[in-house]
Amino acid sequence: MKEYLFSYGTLQKDKVQLALFGRILQGNTDTLKGYKTVSIEIKDNAFLAKGEEKLQQNIVISKDINDAVKGTVFELTGEELLHADKYEPDNYKRTQVVLQSGKKAWIYLAVV
């Protein structure tokens, strides 16, 4: 079964995709309305050991409906989505949203 994953950060990097999925993902530009990006500090040592930066972009629901986050929506298998779950920091939660294109996609949000 195919799944959609909306990325606005590290999962857009070729090196991350190759390490996680063994391939470069094909994706399309899309937008998530009603959200905005914020910078957060990652404290998950396993994530940081992968060479990722301590400060990462994350998204939060915005009170301004005009706010939007641009990113890329990728098509993955269910198994690949589970690999992405293991990659993300331990305080990230996967949740489903509807993108501007109308696609239902998964995103990762930090739980603080």
Q: What is the CATH number of the domain that holds 68?
A: 3.10.490.10
Position 89 scores a pLDDT of 74
| Counted domains in the chain | 1
Instruction: Provide the mean pLDDT of the chain.
Output: 86
pLDDT > 70 fraction of the chain, expressed in percent and rounded:
84
Position 51 scores a pLDDT of 58
Domain that holds residue 37: 2-110
Position 24 scores a pLDDT of 96
Choice between 95 and 10, residue whose per-residue pLDDT is larger: 95
Query: Which candidate, 10, 2, 1, places its Cα nearest to that of 108?
Result: 10
pLDDT range class, residue 52, cuts 50, 70, 90: low
- State pLDDT tens for residues 63-103: 898 999 999 999 999 999 999 998 887 778 899 999 999 99
